[in-house]
Amino acid sequence: MTITLFLGVLLGVMSLGVPIAFALLLSGLALMYQMDMFDAQIVAQNLVDGADSFPLMAVPFFMLAGEIMNTGGLSKRIVNVALALVGHVKGGLGYVAIMASVLMAALSGSAVADAAALASLLVPMMVEAGHDRAKAAGLVSAGGIIAPIIPPSIGFIIFGVAANLSISKLFLAGIVPGVTMGLALAATWWWVARKESLKTAPRKSLREIVHTLIDGFWALLLPVIIIVGLKLGVFTPTEAAVVAAVYSLVAAVFIYKELKLSSLYAVFAASAKTTAVVMFLVAAALVSSWMITVADVPGQVVELLEPFMDNQTLLMIAIMLLVVAVGTAMDMTPTILILTPVLMPVVKQAGIDPIYFGVLFIINNAIGLITPPVGTVLNVVCSVSKLKMDDLMKGVWPFLMAELVILLLMVLFPALVIVPAQWFHG
């Protein structure tokens, strides 16, 4: 009854067009009324506590860093480096998109920002080279969702706060799976583009490659600083976010000189608006999360999944199918906030490594960004690439399947995630 009421209210008000943050509040209030324990003070306290978190301070700083990178020329130089290295091979612009996606993922942590930037830069170039527009946009969309997997990942920050797990461990555990997804996209792109009639760019000379690498050095240095700093314990993820924001600001204003001081207000305002949406969503979700715990919804879910509790692989498959289904109808952040307090007790009771689960959970949620009808990344790329959703879905389909195969392999062979994660953790 409790689960039915919660989901019924949540999905019902969302279908009426109510913003997800308010839908979460209303579903939490419905549980309060059903349990005859409504108290406005509890609602207010949980709203405040939801946003009052030191790890969550990383979110606005990483968002600011991403905004500065796209405006200040750092993202463009990442693309130039990839062009210089692999732009001359057949289908090279596709490999450029994949390489740039992986490198930019280590800069911003935002799938939407990365996909929008790459779509505006690369899709017109790929179409001019002879690629089908839908396939080019589909590849950029699938590459964009690597951003929540490779650190710094906003998804890992929110999950780590919701699950009370080490965000540093989640960050480091996401490196190899993120790179693996990039390799899977490269293999799929080779298969998709092998029969296309394409214009091939001339090979860059060694001098041109060196010049491009020198020009992009400051942009390429940032992910190294963040990953090495986290690995060596120099700073926490929150401090890494501040380092990323300050570093990108200095590079954009004083080194590349593409971000004018007069433009800073617009950059700060844009990142503040996005941050406000995310933080209010997190705060509202804590009301529902608190009621979910009080109503013992996790206990009810454990009972539903009881047949799978003795087999970790079958349990993970069942959970991943659930998340895939939810991801088709809900954006990444609310899915994390709603399902984490429900699923973590199940995972811990089954003896599954919480960090391993967190990585797969975020990968699954990232894939949800390119599954219709909600598919936030799909909608952004549609707008930037001037495509219809139906056409883009045909283009993204093979890349979506490749990423689902990688997810399945990580479910069947947990060592693919756990072993490199343990190495990074030291």
The reported pLDDT for the residue numbered 372 is: 76
pLDDT score for 175: 92
| Residue 105 · residue 250 · CB < 8 Å | no
Residue 47: pLDDT over 80: no
Cα–Cα nearest to 286, from 55, 35, 53, 46: 46
Average confidence (pLDDT) over 87-104: 84
Q: Which pLDDT belongs to residue 44?
A: 78
For the ranges 46-50, 234-238, 277-281, the lowest mean pLDDT is seen at 46-50
Distance separating alpha carbons of residues 379 and 161, to the nearest angstrom: 28
More confidently predicted of 354 and 65: 354
pLDDT (average), residues 331-343: 85
- 148 with 332: CB under 8 angstroms? yes
Rounded Cα distance, 334 and 408, in Å: 23
Q: Which of 80-84, 182-186, 237-241, 374-378 has the lowest mean pLDDT?
A: 374-378
Per-residue pLDDT at 10: 75
Report the share of the chain in percent with pLDDT over 70. Answer: 96
**Helices 389-412 and 415-425: angle between axes, nearest 10 degrees:** 80
Please give the Cα distance from 102 to 217 (Å, whole number): 16
Compare 281 and 417 and report the one with higher pLDDT.
417
Average pLDDT score over residue span 121-138: 86
Distance CA 348, CA 333 (A): 22
Reported as a pLDDT band with limits 50, 70 and 90, residue 183 is very high
Instruction: Tell me what pLDDT residue 387 has.
Output: 85
Band of residue 355 on the pLDDT scale cut at 50, 70, 90: very high
More confident residue, 292 or 137: 137
What are phi and psi for residue 60, nearest 5 degrees? -60, -35
At 191-215, the pLDDT tens digits run 988 777 666 777 888 898 899 999 9
Per-residue pLDDT, averaged over 144-150, amounts to: 91
Higher pLDDT, 413 or 27: 413
Torsion angle in degrees (nearest 10) through CA of 331, 334, 336, 339: -110
Which among 38, 3, 59, 1 is positioned nearest to 341, based on CA atoms? 3
**H helix and E strand count, the chain:** 22, 0
- Per-residue DSSP letters for 231-247? HTTSS-HHHHHHHHHHH
Angle between helices 133-144 and 376-385 (to 10 degrees): 140
Residue 50: the pLDDT is 67
| Structure-token pair, residue 337 | 């906030």
The model's confidence at residue 11, banded by pLDDT at 50, 70 and 90, is confident
pLDDT, residue 246, reads 92
| Residue 113 confidence (pLDDT) above 90 | no
State how far the alpha carbon of 136 is from the alpha carbons of 102, 188, 316, in Å: 16, 12, 33
Residue 374 — very low, low, confident or very high, per pLDDT cuts 50/70/90? low
> Residue 3: its pLDDT value, please?
67
Place of tokens 């990323």: 244
Q: What pLDDT, on a 0 to 100 scale, did the predictor assign at position 1?
A: 58
Q: Work out the pLDDT band at 46, boundaries 50, 70, 90.
A: confident
Burial annotation 145-177 (CB, 10 A radius, 16+ → b, else e):
bbbbbbbbbbbbbbbbbbbebbbbbbbbbbbbb
* pLDDT tier at 179, thresholds 50, 70, 90: very high
From residue 365, give the alpha-carbon distance in Å to each of 3, 321, 340, 371, 384: 21, 11, 12, 10, 23
Residue 298 has pLDDT above 80, yes or no: no
Are the C-beta atoms of 248 and 222 separated by less than 8 Å?
yes
- Top-confidence residue, 354 or 337: 354
Q: What is the mean pLDDT of the chain?
A: 84
Q: In the numeric block, which tokens belong to residue 5?
A: 């009421």
Up-side HSE of residue 422: CA atoms within 13 Å toward CB?
7
Give the pLDDT band (50/70/90) at residue 2.
low
Per the model's pLDDT, the better-predicted residue between 308 and 52 turns out to be 308
Banded pLDDT at 233 (limits 50, 70, 90): confident
Q: Distance between CA 29 and CA 9 in Å, rounded?
A: 10
Lowest mean pLDDT among 31-45, 76-90, 92-106, 322-336: 31-45
Question: At which residue do the structure tokens 């600011």 appear?
Answer: 64
Interval 365-391 mean pLDDT: 84
